[in-house]
Structure 1
């Protein structure tokens, strides 16, 4: 089936699923520890026909593996969408992206995000905040320099985005957040705010509901009934639900077959509006499933 796209507020198109993220299970604490299996997996992904959407970040420390796969690939650059993120390992996003581009062996990335509104380590005063306005202005410089085609944020709440929108000459196109049927607002009101301001939400960990041990409840029974109806599995149903909610799912897997299935099968079905709404309703009734940024956002469970 043909790949679908979302149209960003600036008119650019983004592949509507990111089929391979180099974080989560591939995350490393030391960039010098090369993971050849990761390079092999990315190389296989780059053999998939058409445009593929890869997700990377400074803090994952997987640039060497991604760079090696890109170097060995014959896929044209315009058929590879690269999302990268500034995670404050380097002092500022200009330094960070220059480092990333050198490691990846490319001249630009397609989307560059601020990974979060927090510093990974506390400041001297114990705070985790940094100057979002100053840092956003540096992202705008990177667009003007041609080093990224689009810019955005990740894990930002409404208040954080309001600070950016107030001063932005180039608006944030994307907010990548933890999003799934059991976590439909990473922070209060973020889904509706993004829709109102034409900021595309991307969902990492969209399949978190499948990690719940007790799958005897009404939600899982209903999702399984849809899987039977559409001759697919529960994972595809949940990815399709994310997409039909107007959110871009970001996936990954250590199994290439699963990556390829997510890329293909999600476009072979279409849930009815009633089915989408029922998954949403049943998901909201379930206990929150949040895996990341818990010290900052568990208060909203």
Structure 2
């Protein structure tokens, strides 16, 4: 069975496809074509965000793809700067309007701090308020699942201690060479699915000699090895591309990485993001 037909089950019973399409850096006017191409190939999971500026394009692609809405899983993210209930509630409704697909399958708080203070100040109360707005939308049926992104254990503990719904998902930077073992264990204990964005480290792993050597053992590309690695960790990878050929290749992960090679990949340290370190998530904070 193709990975595109496999699912995880979230803690409240909602199913989410195991492989998704990330849309960061896909312009709004290109997003519809990318989404339609992915769905034609067999993808059923599409991830966007308010910060990406392409919710309208993603929604247009969903509406035009010819697949039943209920067969698709669409995620978006509340802007990281929003740390109060009323602004969050309005932003959720704005995403619903821009996407125009009836409901959102998963919505995340994009980061525990605003991007210009990433890993900086204390926004615990603001996150609780934003989470309360997410819970309200979830209870109202506007959103099927709610979660967070870039949250560390202390950030998760804040929500778990004060919320009425535990996060269903935590989407984090995870790839071969950057495996947050303690956070993975914490989320697993609490039945929080970890999503892996940038599973190829924004492309920087293509230049890794160590990862390339392991990929060659299996006769696969570095991206396919990295996506398979994320899957074997029990996480849900979101490789981003607008290229249909890359979409097809990324889904060809019907091989098994050995225990020895998984152990080697888990202990690698590959976090030199070069020019991409200008983005907060790659900054090393």
TM range (shorter): 0.7 to 0.9
Q: Distance in 1 between matches of 2:208 and 2:133?
A: 46
Give the TM-score normalised by structure 1.
0.82
Name the structure 2 match of 1:31: none
Unaligned runs of 5+ in 1: 28-33
How far residue 64 of structure 1 moved from its aligned partner, in angstroms, is 1.9
Q: Distance in 1 between matches of 2:122 and 2:116?
A: 7
Q: Deviations over 1:64-109 (max 9, x none)?
A: 2112222322110011100110015666332112111111112211
Q: Deviations over 1:247-278 (max 9, x none)?
A: 11011213111112222x12x21223233222
Q: 1:241 to 1:61 in 2, by over 3 A?
A: same
Give the TM-score normalised by structure 2.
0.86
Unaligned runs of 5+ in 2: none
Name the structure 1 match of 2:18: 16
Q: 1:98 to 1:214 in 2, by over 3 A?
A: closer
Name the structure 2 match of 1:56: 48
Q: Distance in 2 between matches of 1:236 and 1:153?
A: 26
**2:241 is aligned with 1:248:** no
- Report the RMSD for the aligned CA atoms in angstroms: 2.5
Flag the structure with larger Rg: 1
Q: 1:43 to 1:85 in 2, by over 3 A?
A: same
1:1-301 equivalence runs, <5 A: 1-2=1-2, 3-18=5-20, 20-23=21-24, 25-26=25-26, 34-35=28-29, 37-49=30-42, 52-88=44-80, 92-121=87-116, 127=121, 129=123, 131-185=126-180, 189-208=182-201, 211-212=204-205, 215-216=208-209, 218-226=210-218, 228=219, 232-263=220-251, 265-266=252-253, 268-281=254-267, 283=268, 286-289=269-272, 291=276, 298=283
Q: Distance in 2 between matches of 1:209 and 1:42?
A: 19
Q: Distance in 1 between matches of 2:81 and 2:255?
A: 41
Q: Distance in 1 between matches of 2:154 and 2:143?
A: 25
Q: Distance in 2 between matches of 1:44 and 1:299?
A: 34
Give the helix-richer structure, 1 or 2: 2
SS at match of 1:139: helix
SS at match of 1:6: strand
Report which stretch shifted further, 206-215 or 144-153. Answer: 206-215
Q: Distance in 2 between matches of 1:293 and 1:11?
A: 38
SS at match of 1:117: coil
Q: Distance in 1 between matches of 2:247 and 2:77?
A: 22
Q: Distance in 2 between matches of 1:127 and 1:172?
A: 22
SS at match of 2:195: strand
Q: Distance in 1 between matches of 2:75 and 2:90?
A: 17
The answer on whether the counterparts of 1:143 and 1:149 sit within 8 Å (CA) in structure 2 is yes
How far residue 168 of structure 1 moved from its aligned partner, in angstroms, is 2.1
Q: 1:210 to 1:137 in 2, by over 3 A?
A: closer
The answer on whether the counterparts of 1:44 and 1:256 sit within 8 Å (CA) in structure 2 is yes
**Total equivalences in the alignment:** 275
The answer on whether the counterparts of 2:214 and 2:261 sit within 8 Å (CA) in structure 1 is no
